[in-house]
Each structure stands twice: as C-alpha cells, then as structure tokens.
Structure 1
Amino acid sequence: MRTPSWWRGRSHGVPRGVDLAVLYVLVVLGVFIALHTQSHADRARFVQESSTNLVNLRRSPFRVIVLSSVVVPGKTGLLILVPLAAGLVVLQRWLGRLATIVAFGFGHVGATLVVATVLAAGLTHGRLDPSVARAPDVGVSYGLACIVGLLVARVPRWARVPCALLPLAGLGAVLLLEPDFTALGHIVALVIGFGLAVLVHRGADPAATVRTT
C-alpha cells in the first residue's frame, strides 16, 4: 500500500509540517502549567507583566511582545490551541516553516501595534479611561486571526469571498456588541492575514504542490 504523502519523510515519528505546531503548543502548555503552580497573586502579576499594554510596551516592548504570545491565563483559553495548531500545520505544509513564523508574527505584532496606537490616541484626546494603559492583553488569538485570513488564499476561488466575510462579520459583530481593544485587534490581525493572502496569491499558484519543510 502506498504511504500517504503527508506522512512521508517523517522524522522521529513526527510528520513533516507538524513541528511548529507541536513546539508552540508545548511552549504554551509549559508556560500555563508553570503559571498554575504559582499563587494566584504571582500568576496575576506575571500575566500583567507579560501584557502588551501601553505601559509595558514603553518599558520593554520586545519582551512583552514575545511573552504575550505564549501566555494563556485561563483554562478555557487553552481551547484556542486546537484551531491554532491545525492552522499552523496547514500553513506550514503549504508555505513552509519560515513563512508560517513570519505570518504569525505579522498578525501578533501588527495587531498589537495598531491597538496600542489607537489606545494612545484615545488617551491623548481624553476619550479613554487612563486605566486602559495597564489593561492586560495576552494570548495567541491575534496570530490565529492572521492565519485564518491568510488561509483564505488556500480555498477554492468560488469560496474565498464567503470564507473571508464569515470571520470578518463575526469579529465585526463582537466589536459592535462589546467594543474593546481586543476585538479591534482581532479584526486588524484578520485583515493583515487577508493582505498576506493577496501577496501569496499573486506570487504563487495556491493550488501548487505544498511545501513540507
């Protein structure tokens, strides 16, 4: 019987195109477990210090941008690792390891910076409560939103518009019903993904043979 193409070339029992997802999920789970061995006060302090809020971005931008991408404060937040891992696998098998890392980084960093800019402008003009400068903002969802947007380029042409409008409408509804900066960040990350999808679509045929490195 012929070996499926997705399983060929596996190393140490792990199929190609899965390593990024496995590594990232293990890191997030490791941080989560380490956090929950600490007291509630210490856990809350670490989450606060890892947040990409305005105060932390001014003090140590690189540190909090990296830490915030691997911190999931609550158990329910771990559920997002399932679609995230699936998206990372599909994207890596399609575009490769480096492109997957870049796409996730663009979504996480890009949405963070846009949200920070909007918050800073709101505070400068007195439209937001000063406490928003210290509001916690951690998690993997910005990166996931960007990956979802990018993968629109992978679906058949006739399905691209519905696949783009569905998450955009959902996030837009959340922003309208419960407006906050994280909802805005998710929309920004999704739009960044759409932009990357356009670049990928122009640069290569989405139906071409997938990469597995």
Structure 2
Amino acid sequence: MIASAPVRFRSPWTQTIDLRTEARVAWDWLRRPGLAHRVLPAIREHLGAAPASTAYAFTVFVTWWTLRGVGDSVERRLIFSASTNLYNMRHNPVQVLVASAFWTDGGFPWTTIAGFLIVMAYAERWLGTTRWIILFATGHIGATLLTVTGISHAIDHGVIPRVVAVAADVGTSYGFSAVLAALTYRFRGLVRLLWAGTLILVLVAALWIGPTFTDYGHLCACLIGLAVGGLATVVGRWVEQKTAAKAEAAAALTE
C-alpha cells in the first residue's frame, strides 16, 4: 500500500502581498460594470470571513449604547470597574483584563468600530480567526501588564501622583496597536519598512510630545506585535520548509 504524500503546510505569516499589485486589482474591480450590485455582496463576504472582528465591533457598540442608557454616576462606576488601572489589577486582574477590552469611554466610537470592520477584519481574514484572537489578546494583555508595572514603579518612586492608580483605562487600542504592528509582515520590501517605521515614529512622537501611560502602552503593544509577528514568520517559514522536504521525500519514494 502506497502512503499518501503529506500535505504541505502554508503559513499565513509567509503569504505576503505586493501593495502596487493589490491596488491595481482593486482599481480594476472598481472599474468593472455593475459596481452598485457588487458592493453589498463584497461587504458581506468581507465581514463573513472575519466573524471575530465583526462580533467585536458589535459588542463595542452594545457597551457604548449601555453607557448611554444609564446615569453619569453609574457610567463612571461601570468604567471604573472595567478599568485596567493599578487598583483593579491588584484586586481583580483577570476580570478587568477581559472587560476593559470591550468598553470605550467618551462619544460614539466611530473610529473603533470602523477600524474593526475594515482593518481588523482584513487582518483576521489574513491570519485566520484563532491566530487573530491570540495576537490581539497578547497585545492587549502584554501591554496592559507592562503599563501597570511601569505605573506601579513610578508611583513607588514619586514620579507620578497616586491618583493615577485609580484612573479610568478602558478600550481596544492596545490589542489594535499590536495587530497593526503585526500587519508589517503582510507586506514586502520597502512597504514593510515604511509601515513599521511609521507606526514606531508616530507612537514615539506621541510619547515624546505629551507622555501618558496610555502612550507608553501603545508603544509596548506595537513592539509586542512586531515581536510576535517576527517569531511567527520565522517559525512558519521553518515549518513550511520541513513539510516541503517531507513531501519531496515521499514523492521520491513513490516514483
């Protein structure tokens, strides 16, 4: 009985794109007749292939709507209970690490929801839902822990006031920053360098001009995304080479 050849592994981390080619394909798609009839199916296909990002955007909308339906005092208590500040991280770390990622503070989160439905959905379609969730969670949790550690150190040494320990800190930006950084590995050549360099430059500039612990967290999340993406790319390429070698050896045996 002849053994079947092993299936070659293809890592999404090694599947890069040329931005000029993608732009040309998109332009050709837009110029084709019947654009109005193709837009809705394309949006449905885009969101259907990114269930986690779509569900996340809807959850953010629901939590924002919930806050609009309660009084100011209740809103402040809800935000505080979900905040990843130093006080909550010392008392309910797991609860606030999860809850903080699904609340937003302020007006209607247009940019957050649009970012999930467009950018995060694209990243999820590229990586797959499970990898996207792991990457987003790693950025959110890792940057939060690094930020809280920095706040604790600064308070202990009198660099910042103790009131920061109970400051409100909710939102999706840490996980979002990590995924944006990891998207660096989706591109090739100069575009990859420009993408990573621009992200780092913007975050460092924000930290330099008006430093806050949130800016520090964004930079940490960006570095986490770059590190995770780099490691995943190296591992993915190694596994591809191994499976390709096994496939070639199996094919040689069947000849």
Query: With CA pairs under 8 Å and 6+ residues apart, which has the higher RCO, 1 or 2?
Result: 2
Judge conservation of contact 1:16–1:93 (CA < 8 Å) in 2.
no
* 1:99-140 C-alpha deviation (Å, 9 max, x unpaired): 100000011100000000001111112222111101111001
Judge conservation of contact 1:72–1:78 (CA < 8 Å) in 2.
no
Over aligned residue pairs, what C-alpha RMSD do you find?
A: 2.2
Task: Give, as a single letter, the amino acid of the residue that structure 1 aligns with 2:79.
Answer: V
Mapped pair 1:32 → 2:32: no
Judge conservation of contact 1:69–1:139 (CA < 8 Å) in 2.
yes
* 1:127-168 C-alpha deviation (Å, 9 max, x unpaired): 221111011110011111000000100011221111101011
Mapped pair 1:132 → 2:188: no
Partner of 1:41: 73
Judge conservation of contact 2:84–2:97 (CA < 8 Å) in 1.
yes
Partner of 2:200: 168
Judge conservation of contact 2:57–2:117 (CA < 8 Å) in 1.
yes
2:217 to 174, 185, 208: 185
Q: Once structures 1 and 2 are overlaid, which stretch shifts more, 46-55 or 84-93?
A: 84-93
* 1:68-119 C-alpha deviation (Å, 9 max, x unpaired): 1000121254322212332322222122111100000011100000000001
Q: Which runs of 5+ in 2 are unaligned?
A: 1-37, 241-255
Q: Once structures 1 and 2 are overlaid, which stretch shifts more, 84-93 or 41-50?
A: 84-93
Alignment of structure 1 residues 1-213 onto 2, 5 Å: 16-204=48-236
Partner secondary structure for residue 75 of structure 1: coil
Indicate the percent of aligned positions where both proteins have the same amino acid.
28
TM-score (norm 2): 0.73
Q: Which runs of 5+ in 1 are unaligned?
A: 209-213
TM-score (norm 1): 0.86
Partner of 1:211: none
* 1:13-69 C-alpha deviation (Å, 9 max, x unpaired): 775422111111111111110111000111111111110000001110111111110
Higher Cα radius of gyration = 2
Distance 1:146 1:34 in 2: 27
Partner secondary structure for residue 29 of structure 1: helix
Partner of 2:247: none
Judge conservation of contact 1:87–1:144 (CA < 8 Å) in 2.
no
